[in-house]
Structure 1
Amino acid sequence: MIFAKAFDRLAPGRIVLGTALFAGCIALAGCEAQKKPNADAATLAAASYVHNGPPALTLFTMVNNRTGSGGHTSLMINASERVIFDPAGSFYADVVPEVNDVLFGITPAVALAYRGAHARSTHHVVVQRLEVTPAQAQRAYELAVTNGRVPGAYCANSTSSILRQIPGLEGLKTTFYPVKLSEQFAALPGVVTTKYYEDDDADLQKALAEGNVILSYESRQSE
């Protein structure tokens, strides 16, 4: 079953232990240290995709269906090209090159595959889209591509840090918690929120592998 539902406006030693447990929980949901090699310039140029829609920032928040806690945060940016800042993310596809946690070549099919891979029986995806000015979108793009790789469990922290550097969004606060960032983003004027569910297998790696096969096939068919 697949459906999307729209909403109107989707002591020191003890601290170290808590942080470690927090990082472990996030890693299980898809926010983990990135290990994929960076793509070269030629690969990026070949994959680059320019979306004809308005400049926009789309915040993805992966939420545990049982507990309501956030598992991962990422940001799709439609600027001079469309990319996804996927800090410490797990997503991969042969046709989607990556450099320092930024995914390139985000065609409509890739965007759907990205969302679908993260929505499964254990998690749903909160999708929050905000149309912005070209200057705001390009600033987000520049911040994302120069950010560098993100440590595991820092997905919401790095995304919120980028967002609050964009003119007009300075009021957002830096946070380590995906749901708290989602709640802040929802309060911005103009944000449209949807929630996306699937009842697929709980195994994220299985979903990623299946999506990779489909995207690779579609890419060959379009050649």
Structure 2
Amino acid sequence: MTRTRAGIAVPSVDAGLVVLVEGESDRAAVEAAASLCRVDLRTLDAVVLSMDGVTYIRHHLRRHGPAGDRRQILGLCDSAESSVVGRALAENCDGSAENTHRLRAGDPILLAHHGFQMCRRDLEDELIRAIGTRGVIDVIEATGERRAWHSMQQQPAQRDRPVADQLRRWLGSGATRKIRYAPLLIAALPPERLPEPLSALLTAIATAGLGGQGSAISDASAHRMRASGCMEP
């Protein structure tokens, strides 16, 4: 663990590939998705790292990126924070003025070019749409929290909202609920129905391999992902 001059703690990592995500629930989801698709992060010399907030991305890029340990960087972000990520990535961008401007604005195509996949709202929203509201409610009921879920639905602020929005609120309430539910929601999905940002991120991880030196391992992982439906042929 090192600290920046601003006093921000940035963990050291012993991996060639660093996957940056906003929080612990995102980390849990990415790791669960990798397990579902049989993408061995350890074999691929990859680690998923929570930034504890996207506003800290500059500190992580300086620590692990080209100006620091020179690790390969991939990541996942929400659409609302795409410009925060884009501005941080643009600090090390050698592209044209137009592309730099688009990157700073959070253009999803340029974010993907720089290794970051963007969720349309957030990862919870992506998972709810992939599973369906009935499927997410089934997961809630399987955990024994049916009464608490129905109680929240009856709150005045929630009563008239769409079920998908109620579910986003449910997952976001409580200190650890998103973290607990992330692997449960991933497990409720067949591999071929993983949300596109997660599928694309896993493809990038498998393709990257061991910092470009593990092509045989990367190809094997990609083959397993295609077989399981996590990656297009």
Give me the TM-score of the superposition, normalised by structure 2: 0.24
Structure with a larger share of its residues in strand: 1
Structure with a larger share of its residues in helix: 2
Structure number with larger C-alpha Rg: 2
Give me the TM-score of the superposition, normalised by structure 1: 0.25
Higher RCO structure, 1 or 2 (CA under 8 Å, sep 6+): 1
